[in-house]
Amino acid sequence: MTIADRLDVLAIDHVGIAVPDLEAAITMYTGPFGGRVAHRETNPDQQVDEAMIAFDDGTQLQLIAPTSPDSSIGKFIDRSGPGLQQLAFRVPDVAAAAATLRDAGMRLLYDEPRTGTAGSRINFVHPKDAGGVLVELVQPMAERSGAPAHGTESR
151 in a domain, yes or no? Answer: no
CATH number at residue 52: 3.10.180.10
Give the model's pLDDT for residue 152.
36
pLDDT digits (tens, 9 = 90+) for 67-99: 999 999 999 999 999 999 999 999 999 999 999
Give the model's pLDDT for residue 80.
94
Decide: helix, strand or coil at residue 24: helix
Give the model's pLDDT for residue 4.
77
Which backbone phi and psi does 94 adopt, to 5 degrees?
-65, -35
71 in a domain, yes or no? Answer: yes
- Residues of the chain with confidence (pLDDT) below 50: 146-155
User: Whole-model pTM?
Assistant: 0.85
Question: How many domains does one find in the chain?
Answer: 1
31 in a domain, yes or no? Answer: yes
Residue 105 CB neighbour total at 10 angstroms: 7
